[in-house]
Structures are given as C-alpha cells and as structure tokens.
Structure 1
Amino acid sequence: MKYSTIVIDDSSIQRLATSFLVKNHTKLELIGSYANPYEGIKAIYDYKVDIVFLDVLMDQVDAFELLDSIEINAAIIMNSTWSHFAQPAFEYGINDFLIKPMPKKRFEQAVDKIIKQIQLEREIQKQSSTFLFSELLSNFN
C-alpha cells in the first residue's frame, strides 16, 4: 500500500528536494507539490491525502496561521530551517518535525513513524466500526 503525500513549501529548491525523497520512498506516492499553501490545502481535501510535508515559513502565510484556520485530516510533517519552531509545532499536534535540509535517514524515520501511526489509527477505526456494526445487529435480534 502506498500513502498519498503532498509537499507544501514556497522554496522551489526545498520543494524539489522533498518531492525527490517522497518519490523515491517505496511506500509513498507524490500527489502534488505546491508553492502556494492554499492550493496545497485544496489538494489535501480533493485527494484525501495521507501525509503532508508542510513548510513553517511561507510568503503568503505561516504554517501556524494555516493550522489555526483549517482542519487537516492528514499526518503532518512540518519542516523548517529553524529548530525553534519544533516546540510550537508539536504543541499544534503535528506528527513530526524535520530540520532543513532533511537528511534522508531522518526523513525515512519520520515517514516510517507516521505510517505506523496511520496503520494503527486505521486498525482502531476498523475494529470500532466492526464493534458498532455487531452491536447494531445484536439489537435487531
């Protein structure tokens, strides 16, 4: 199974580097790469993306303002050149934080962690749905 992924970063070099890492990961599928954060957010909703690589500081809006204004139902790996954004990022509930430039090993660790989280959440949802369906059926008997 491949996990749909997008990259939102206003730096063309960083966007290209992150997209390259995503394309070369066996469990990820790059859906799109966006300089404009609003186009990226639209893609998250349009394609029901699993994982988002989100730059902290962008020309139009910073990631925190963006997260204050919308709800993203995808795992978020935030990235920045500045490590002091890591603490606030985790307070926002993001799944991981990477320092630019992203070393391949650290990128892979973050992705593996996120995939395990997604798999666990899906298994819990599946079990919950099965339980609710069983309960519903038992009420009809």
Structure 2
Amino acid sequence: MKYSTIVIDDSSIQRLATSVLVKNHPNLHFVGSYESPYKGIKTIYDQKVDIVFLDVLMENVDAFELLDNIEINSAIVLNSTWENFAERAFDYGINDFLMKPMPKRRFDKAIDKIIKQIEQKKVKQIKVFPFSELLSNFDLN
C-alpha cells in the first residue's frame, strides 16, 4: 500500500528536496507540494492525505498556529532548520520532527515509524457492546 503524502513549505528549495524524497520512497504516493499552508490544508481535507510534511516557520503563519486552529487527522512530520522547535512539536503530538536539510536515512526512519503507527491504528479492534450493555450506561430514570 502507498500512503498519500504532501509537502507544505514556503521555501521552494526545501519543498523540492522533500518532494524528491517522497517521490523516491517506495511506500509513498506524492500528492503535491504547497507554498501556501492554506492550499495544503485544503488538499489534506479534499484528498484525505495520510502524511503531511509541514514546515514550522512559514510566511504569515507558523505550524503551531495552524495546529491550534484546525484538526488534521493525518500523520504530521514537522521540519525546521531550528532544533529548538522539536520539544514543542512533540508536545503537540506530532509523529516526527526532522531537521533541514533532511538526510535520506533519517527521512526513511521517520517514514517507517509513521507507517507502523498508521497500520496499527488501522488494525486496532473496535470494541463492540451489545445493545443492552449500552443502555445500562445511561440512567433512564
């Protein structure tokens, strides 16, 4: 299975570099790259993207402001040239944080980890309750 992936970064050089890594990974399907985080977010919702590479500092908005204001159900890899954002990124519950420029080995390691996380969520059993047990949870009096 290939996992749909987008890149959101205001740096054209970094967008290109990350896009090449995504395109060359055998388990990823490259959907697109976006300078504008707003166009990228529209794609996330329209195409139900699995993985998002998101730059921390972009013109007019940063990744944390976006994450404070929207819900993204995709795996998120934040990336930055500044490592001091890593701790804050993990406080937000992101899946991984990569430093720019991204070494291929570290990129591959992050993707392997994220794919395992996605697959574990997909095979997770949903607990089913009999109707009478569901009713017992409500006070009907």
* TM-superposed deviation, 1:84: 0.1
1:75 paired to 2:65: no
CA distance in 1, matches of 2:60, 2:109: 30
Q: Distance in 2 between matches of 1:135 and 1:22?
A: 44
| Equivalent position amino acid for 1:13 in 2 | I
Q: Who is 1:48 aligned against? A: 48
- For 1:65, the aligned partner's letter is E
User: What TM-score does the superposition give when structure 2 sets the normalisation length?
Assistant: 0.90
Larger helix proportion, structure 1 or 2?
Answer: 1
- The residue number in structure 1 matching 2:106 is 106
Distance 2:76 2:110 in 1: 10
Q: Deviations over 1:66-117 (max 9, x none)?
A: 0000000000000000000000000000000000000000000000000000
Cα distance in structure 2, aligned partners of 1:18 and 1:60: 21
Aligned counterparts of 1:135 and 1:93: Cα–Cα separation in 2: 33
Q: CA deviation at 1:60?
A: 2.1
> CA RMSD, aligned part only?
1.3
Instruction: Give the length in aligned residue pairs.
Output: 132
Distance 1:105 1:92 in 2: 24
Alignment-derived partner of residue 94 in structure 1: 94
TM-score norm. by structure 1 comes to 0.90
Deviations 1:24-45 (A, max 9, x none): 0000001110000000000000
Pairs within 5 Å for 1:1-141: 1-124=1-124, 127-128=125-126, 131-132=127-128, 135=130
Distance 2:130 2:59 in 1: 51
Q: Which amino acid is the alignment partner of residue 84 of structure 1?
A: N
| Partner-residue secondary structure (3-state), 1:10 | coil
Q: Tell me, what secondary structure is at the counterpart of 1:101?
A: coil
| Structure 2: gaps spanning 5 or more residues | 132-141
Please list every run of 5 or more consecutive structure 1 residues that lacks an aligned counterpart in the other structure: 137-141
CA drift of 1:122 comes to 0.5
Amino acid at match of 1:112: D
Q: How many angstroms apart in 2 are the aligned matches of 1:24 and 1:135?
A: 47
Deviation for aligned residue 1:135: 4.5
Secondary structure (helix, strand or coil) at the match of 1:49 reads coil
Distance, in Å, in 2 between the alignment partners of 1:42 and 1:111 is 23
